[in-house]
Amino acid sequence: MRFFIEISYKGSSYHGWQIQPNANTIQGEINDALTTILKNKIDVVGAGRTDTGVHATQMFAHFDFKDNLEIQELILKLNGFLPEDIVIHNIYKVSHTAHARFDAISRTYDYHIIQKKDPFIKHAYFLYQDINIDAMNQASQYLLGQHDFTSFAKVNSETHTNNCEIMKAIWSRKEKQIIFTIKANRFLRNMVRAIVGTLLEIGKEKMSPDILKQIIYNKNRNSAGPSVPACGLFLKNIDYPKDIFNE
């Protein structure tokens, strides 16, 4: 039987989602917890990878188990076993062909910025300069649609294609924070942080908004701006077909 597991985590203490030798990872913690509680070797398959220090308000993964599960009891045990910075929200029984990564329709990320130091907002990028949000929103429109995003990809990434379709890219103010929201069918490694870093160069008026169109066309990482720190990046949610949880 296959199960989807819905997760949130604070990524500050972890070397990203994906399990790796001699490193503390979200996937590793969840594998260990499930294996211990279910007394069977369990390997979860994530909906994607978040890099070192990146957070998730909603992540999904799937795992297989031979028997039915007492869902609420398992959630309670997992949350008691896992560190306080990893939370299990729900577990769903799904079709044996459902796949947390390949069945995802879209993913949405938020990037959080504060411009005044605040001890109660810990997971945001502190940027003291003034930025032109209108200019950044104007530039963001060039991101929409399907493009080759090589200019914003980690160099030498092992991907078959760098084409992604972006459905939403917008800057907004929310209380004390400035938040960039971006939604796409898929993302390349480091892509969001590179896009945010480039848009901030436009917001600081070091580049004009329409330069973003040329940066995309160049397909060269050196054309874009620097990547921003991981501390402000959140995987916000993942969309699936509505019937995937109706098993």
pLDDT digits (tens, 9 = 90+) for 7-20: 999 999 999 999 98
What's the mean per-residue pLDDT of the chain?
Answer: 94
- pLDDT of 158 over the 70 cut: no
Q: Which of 29-33, 66-70, 194-198 has the lowest mean pLDDT?
A: 66-70
How much is the pLDDT for 21?
A: 87
Say what the pTM is. Answer: 0.94
- Angle value at C-alpha 58, between 155 and 231, nearest 5 degrees: 50
Kindly list the structural domains of the chain, giving each domain's residue range(s) and its CATH number in brackets, ordered by start. Answer: 2-102 (3.30.70.580), 107-237 (3.30.70.660)
Q: Helix H segments across the chain?
A: 26-38, 71-81, 133-140, 191-203, 211-218
- pLDDT of 125 over the 80 cut: yes
Report the C-alpha gap between 59 and 46 in whole angstroms: 8
Q: Which of 60-64, 121-125, 158-162 has the lowest mean pLDDT?
A: 158-162
Q: Catalytic pick from 43, 51, 67, 130?
A: 51
Assess whether 243 carries a catalytic annotation: no
In tens, the pLDDT along 160-172 reads 889 999 999 999 9
More confident residue, 129 or 192: 192
Q: Which of 67-71, 149-153, 178-182, 235-239 has the lowest mean pLDDT?
A: 67-71
Contact 136, 207 (CB under 8 A): no
**pLDDT (mean) for 216-223:** 93
- pLDDT of 247 over the 70 cut: no
- pLDDT of 36 over the 70 cut: yes
Name the nearest CA neighbour of 86 among 35, 154, 12, 146: 12
Report the C-alpha gap between 90 and 228 in whole angstroms: 32
How much is the pLDDT for 175?
A: 84
**pLDDT (mean) for 142-158:** 88
